[in-house]
């Protein structure tokens, strides 16, 4: 394996100093714009000029080394490739990290445990300030032992033992919000197509659904809660049941289920939202925004999860030691829920 040429030799601070005829200390002072050190206006000018002329770039490795702390934040994700969700977490984490002068070291593990171990090792060896450990869907996660060697916060997942800082979406509030969109339109028989998969999303959204019903004085009818595989096929498949139950509105576990539901409903000659109203969950753009009619849904706040994760890591938000921070799932109103009464 022939690897590329050895790193080209970049301009060093010493060369800049030599070019100007000052010491490296002086150059360092002006490069970092140290406030306390008084540098002659002329010297400063000449140094700056030399920097520009020689194309000098500070060596972050050396700087980090001498300062004993890197400006890295690690982010391990379990599914960068397969969903847009991880991307949004990364994006949020990066924007926030960047804002505070930090750089993201990203590792994709695709659920592979040894890749995970390797990734964490690598980050530890780069002396990251801390690690964000994230999953693409909200769930309990076993915490790799090595994580405990540094600061870490869980993003979109949490420790079963509740002994770690974590940021997760507020599923219950999300379920309440989604159901509320339907209640607000005057619906009283609202079906809920939940997922078959045991997960916080399943329990939380159901809880929210019931809470919204209760708040509106609508009795809970267990027959209106259906379980389906959380994708298009699942949504399509439960159309007959929904119709049998005489529902006038459906809250779907996610947007993909809603997409399948659309198909089934249409096949029965039913119009959305006039014959039956639909709301989804996730706000998966490619789908939700372009269904016919565009799908009203509730957004999973992945970007905000990423932001909150680094804020916790950096200690920017005051919060109890092992708190589980819940982030709001905001409503995204489009057309499938009908017009508000």
Partner DNA sequence: TTGAAAGCGCTAACAA
Partner DNA sequence: TTGTTAGCGCTTTCAA
- In the complex with a second copy, the residue whose CB is nearer, 105 or 226, is 105
Secondary structure letter of residue 197 according to DSSP: S
Closest distance of CB 330 from a second copy, Å? 16
Rounded distance between C-alpha atoms, residue 56 and residue 41, angstroms: 20
Q: Which of 2, 4, 9, 114 binds DNA (CB under 7 A)?
A: 9
* Antiparallel, parallel or unpaired: β 297-298 and 331-332: antiparallel
- In the complex with DNA, the residue whose CB is nearer, 29 or 278, is 29
> If binding means CB under 7 A, how many residues of this protein chain bind DNA?
30
Per CB under 8 A, contacts with a second copy among 224-263 are: 231-233, 236, 256, 259-260, 263
Task: Give the interface segment with a second copy, choosing from 115-123, 187-195, 196-204, 327-335 (CB under 8 A).
Answer: 115-123
Q: How many CA atoms lie within 13 A of 278 on its CB side?
A: 32
Closest distance of CB 328 from DNA, Å? 39
Asked whether position 71 contacts DNA by CB under 7 A, the answer is no
Instruction: Give how far Cα 147 sits from Cα of 73, 74, 115, 231, 308, Å.
Output: 13, 11, 14, 33, 19
For residue 147, give every residue at least 6 positions away whose Cβ sits within 8 Å of its Cβ, in sequence order, or none: 120, 131, 133
Asked whether position 31 contacts DNA by CB under 7 A, the answer is yes
For residue 194, give every residue at least 6 positions away whose Cβ sits within 8 Å of its Cβ, in sequence order, or none: 202, 205, 206, 225, 226, 227, 228, 253
Q: Which of 5, 35, 38, 52 binds DNA (CB under 7 A)?
A: 38
Asked whether position 22 contacts DNA by CB under 7 A, the answer is yes
Asked whether position 31 contacts a second copy by CB under 8 A, the answer is no
Task: Give the interface segment with a second copy, choosing from 40-48, 211-219, 271-279, 289-297 (CB under 8 A).
Answer: 289-297
Instruction: List the strands of the sheet with 225-228, edge to edge.
Output: 225-228, 190-195, 249-252, 277-279
Contact track, a second copy, 143-162, x by CB under 8 A: -----xxxx-----------
For residue 18, give every residue at least 6 positions away whose Cβ sits within 8 Å of its Cβ, in sequence order, or none: none
Q: Which of 19, 20, 51, 86 binds a second copy (CB under 8 A)?
A: 86
Q: Which of 34, 40, 53, 60 binds a second copy (CB under 8 A)?
A: 60
Instruction: Give how far Cα 270 sits from Cα of 159, 273, 287, 296, Å.
Output: 44, 9, 20, 17
Q: Residue 220's CB: how many other CB atoms inside 10 A?
A: 11
**22 contact, one of DNA, a second copy, none, CB 5-8 Å limit per kind:** DNA
Q: Which of 16, 30, 80, 332 binds a second copy (CB under 8 A)?
A: 80
- In the complex with DNA, the residue whose CB is nearer, 13 or 80, is 13
Asked whether position 266 contacts a second copy by CB under 8 A, the answer is yes
> If binding means CB under 8 A, how many residues of this protein chain bind a second copy?
78
Largest CA distance in the chain: 87
**111 contact, one of a second copy, DNA, none, CB 5-8 Å limit per kind:** none
Q: Cβ(213)–Cβ(251) under 8 Å? A: no
Q: Does the N-terminal peptide bond of residue 273 adopt cis geometry, omega within 30 degrees of 0?
A: yes
Q: Which of 19, 29, 123, 337 binds DNA (CB under 7 A)?
A: 29
Tokens of 334: 């489009």
Residues found near DNA in the complex (CB under 7 A): 9, 12-14, 21-26, 28-29, 31-32, 34, 37-40, 42-44, 58-59, 62-63, 65-68
């Amino acid at each position: 394996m022939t690897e590329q040429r050895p790193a080209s030799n970049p301009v060093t601070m010493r060369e800049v100093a030599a070019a100007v005829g000052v010491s490296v200390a002086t150059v360092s002072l002006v490069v970092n714009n140290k406030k306390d050190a008084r540098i002659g206006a002329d010297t400063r000018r000449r140094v700056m000029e030399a920097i520009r002329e020689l194309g000098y770039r500070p060596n972050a490795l050396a700087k980090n080394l001498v300062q004993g702390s890197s400006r890295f934040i690690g982010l391990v994700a379990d599914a960068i490739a397969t969903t847009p969700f991880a991307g949004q977490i990364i994006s949020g984490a990066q924007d926030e990290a960047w804002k505070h002068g930090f750089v993201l070291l990203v590792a994709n593990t695709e659920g592979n445990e040894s890749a995970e171990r390797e990734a964490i090792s690598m980050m530890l060896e780069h002396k990251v300030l801390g690690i964000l450990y994230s999953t693409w869907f909200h769930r309990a996660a076993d915490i790799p032992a090595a994580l405990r060697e540094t600061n870490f916060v869980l993003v979109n997942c949490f420790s079963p033992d509740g002994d770690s800082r974590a940021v997760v979406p507020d599923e219950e509030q999300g379920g309440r919000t989604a159901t509320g969109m339907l209640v607000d339109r005057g619906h009283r028989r609202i079906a809920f197509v939940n997922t078959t998969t045991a997960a916080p999303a399943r329990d939380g959204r159901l809880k929210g659904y019931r809470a919204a019903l209760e708040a509106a004085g609508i009795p809970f009818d267990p027959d209106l809660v259906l379980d389906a595989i959380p994708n298009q096929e699942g949504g399509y498949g439960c159309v007959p049941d929904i119709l049998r139950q005489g529902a006038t509105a459906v809250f779907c576990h996610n947007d993909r289920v809603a997409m399948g539901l659309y198909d089934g409903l249409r096949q029965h000659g039913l119009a959305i939202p006039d014959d039956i109203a639909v709301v989804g969950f996730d706000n998966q753009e490619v789908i939700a925004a372009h269904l016919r009619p565009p799908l009203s849904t509730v957004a999973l706040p992945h970007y905000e999860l990423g932001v909150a994760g680094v804020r916790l890591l950096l200690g920017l938000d005051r919060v109890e030691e092992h708190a589980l921070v819940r982030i709001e799932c905001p409503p995204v109103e489009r057309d499938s829920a009908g017009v508000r009464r």
